């Protein structure tokens, strides 16, 4: 009998299962990425998010004021906002 993480032998009663564990350094990065509030570096994740949001908003002042470039830039901004909304809503 087979299942998602391994197999089970009916005759012998032996079961084998497989598990995936990350290397130590990668597990540490993954734990930081999860941003658990009990993790000692959770403030770093929050700060990084705030700084990224500031960069995104402040970059809007860098758009040239010519009509053609402004219109084209707004299309890209709208497309990015739609993609971000899809990622947030489907997660």
**Look-up: residue for tokens 């053609």?**
68
**Look-up: residue for tokens 């901004």?**
77
What is residue 10's three-state secondary structure?
Answer: coil
> Residue 26: what pLDDT?
85
Share of the chain above pLDDT 90, in %: 16
* Entry pTM: 0.47
Band of the pLDDT at 91, cuts 50, 70, 90? low
Q: Which residues, in sequence order, are CB contacts of 64 under 8 Å at separation 6+? A: 70, 73
Cβ proximity of 45 and 37 under 8 Å: no
């Amino acid at each position: 009998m087979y299942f998602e993480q391994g197999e089970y032998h009916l005759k012998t009663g032996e079961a084998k299962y497989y598990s995936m564990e990350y290397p130590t350094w990668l597990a540490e990065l993954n734990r930081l990425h999860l941003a658990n509030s009990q993790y000692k570096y959770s403030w770093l994740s929050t700060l990084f998010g705030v700084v990224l949001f500031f960069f995104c908003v402040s970059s809007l002042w860098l758009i040239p004021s010519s009509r053609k470039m402004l219109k084209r830039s707004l299309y890209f901004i709208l497309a990015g906002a739609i993609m971000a909304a899809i990622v947030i809503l489907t997660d």
